[in-house]
Amino acid sequence: MRKITIHVALILFAGVALAQSKQDIERYKKQYEQLLQTRSSNQVIGAENLSESIDGDIPTEFIMAEKKDVEKTEKTLKYFGYNFFTMRDSIPIWDNLPLPSSYRLGPGDEIIISLWGETQLRSSYFIGRDGMVYIERVGQLNLTGKSMEQAGSYLEKQFQKVYETLKGSNPSTFLDVSLGKLKSINVTFVGEVKLPGIHPLHPFSTVLTGLIQAGGVDTTGSLRNIQIIRGDNDPQQVDLYAFLSAGKTAAANTRLQDNDVIFIPTRNSSIEIEGAVKRPGIYESIPGETVADLIDYAGGLKINAQHNLAVYRFNPASSSLEQNAKSVIYVPFNEAHQVTIQGNEQIIVYAVPDYTKSVYVFGQVKNPGEYGFEEGMHLLDLMHLVGGLFDDTYYQTIYAEKADILRRNSKSNFPEIISVNLADLIQGNQTQNIELQNWDVVLVRQNQNFTISKQVQITGSVKVPGVYSLQQPNETLENLLDRSGSFTDQAYVDGVKLFRNNIQVALNSFDLALVDGDSIDVPEHTGVVQVLGEVYNTGYVQYVNKRNLNNYIEAAGGFTLDARKKYITVIYPNGDVKVKGTFFIPVIIEGSVIIVHKKEEQLPFDMTEFLKETASIIASLATIFYILQI
């Protein structure tokens, strides 16, 4: 019996399989192939592709970090002052430097002499290596060491010997002397500069412009001990911080001379200043400077800075068994001028922690929102700020009998609610003038009886169309029609349309309550019926009283071959809908719309497929019957 059961089951499965259509077999084949693909790709999902294997948002606790010991990215502090010298290629030094009054002419300079007036002459001359310049008819002249003013007076006296019109108190010829091309000076830059070596510089160059032409100072170099070596004299030291931090030009404008040597020593200190200062960065200090001096270089404290500064100092190990470490001291800002910088230190100015002290007002007030809180603040103080309570007209929009103060409760998940009477408050009842606490929330409600009136609109064939305010609860369409003067002589009463939220409402009577925003249209007589759908001539047909449904369909050309004759919809002008049935034929009135629907599509009968499936079933049944007979 057990074997028979198994055979029967196998044969039934085979019969069902044989009875499947070709489309079903193809569908099962595709599903089987998809199953194989799923099994072959069903691998353990690692952390690297977890996000790709989950459809939708991934809970934070399931997202695996690549490494838990990822190094914190520190904000990079910039060295102060060095970027000033990066403008080397953008500043036309030779064209822009002004002529100083102390400038002295020398070999290589070009002078331009102009005579104008009765005599016209313009010539240029270069001063030779011997310091002399030869001018035709005037002779050999020595201009070396003279200023431009001295050179002008000297040349005018020499030219007067040749040109008589230059002489006297009222000369008819005049002389001007100007500089053309200038000689360069050779300055050597050594030490921590970007481009060390000998540089030909503009003769008017200062320490500042010279360093720009030499590419600037490297961050390993000092900006506070720039040395100008001139002959056998002691080096002149220049500190550029006064210029870079405050714009003081005295040191920066030290003028260079030919054969000067500019030496940039290495910086001896690096003071990191970060936090709530205006110019965080790495600064250089010189002996004797204090923490206050360095804070000044950093632009001073921001407005949100705490007034205790943290100064971290590097303490070298005193023995081989100890490790180098940093110690910290906290210095009040008003005492920072007493603390001397001792080496490579770090100064951190902490910002005041954010702490919001606010109260909040929501609801029926003129200016709801967040307001600053101060100790001793009362509800009446806040009401003066938000406005509305003392405006006689606006006050009527407020439900004054009950407002709420929501106060956070540290012992509960729910706030404490303090109810107040605003009407009593403005009358001077101090028991209602609650003292507020930080983060209190005040809720003021609206007076539902004092709101903008609800309005409806009526258009079309009424005597007084327009916008009307509803005067009572559940005011009906019939009341509104009476208030609008009722219908005109052209009004089509059965065609009155009412729209609510832009959707037509089917009207069975005028005893319908109106709501805010309703729109009513009273049309005139149309005199037609519209026929749509499966007829040979869709369109309008003249309305004739007591004409039935079939008459209008015949007038529209009759049914098409695809028409569903037993299912016809009639939409009446007031929005009501009727459907023709076996025993019900809708009455047609003026303005109706008749819709003749199309037959439902049916799949064609496949005789071959039917016979094949029938044969399969019969073969299966015969096999089962044969087995049972054994």
pLDDT at 168: 86
- Answer yes or no: are the C-beta atoms of 531 and 596 closer than 8 Å: yes
Q: How many CB atoms lie within 10 A of CB 463?
A: 11
User: Using one digit for the tens of pLDDT, what is the confidence trace for 159-187?
Assistant: 988 888 888 888 999 999 988 887 788 99
pLDDT at 518: 95
Task: Please name the residue ranges forming H helices in 224-290.
Answer: 241-246
Q: Give the full edge-to-edge strand order of the sheet including 563-571.
A: 539-542, 528-533, 593-598, 563-571, 577-579
pLDDT at 92: 56
User: Using one digit for the tens of pLDDT, what is the confidence trace for 501-544?
Assistant: 999 998 989 999 999 999 999 999 999 999 999 999 999 999 99
If you search the block for the tokens 């569908």, which residue do you land on? 27
Domains of the chain: 1-40+603-630 (no CATH), 107-179 (3.30.1950.10), 271-351 (3.10.560.10), 358-443 (3.10.560), 455-521 (3.10.20), 528-598 (3.10.560.10)
Regions of the chain with pLDDT less than 50: 1-22, 24-25, 27-29, 31-32, 35-36, 38-74
b/e 535-554 (16+ beta carbons within 10 angstroms → b): beeeeebebeeeeebeebbe
pLDDT at 630: 66
pLDDT at 75: 56
pTM above 0.75, yes or no: no
Which pair of tokens denotes residue 11?
């044969």
- CA-to-CA distance for 465 and 490, rounded, in angstroms? 14
Q: What's the DSSP call for residue 76?
A: P
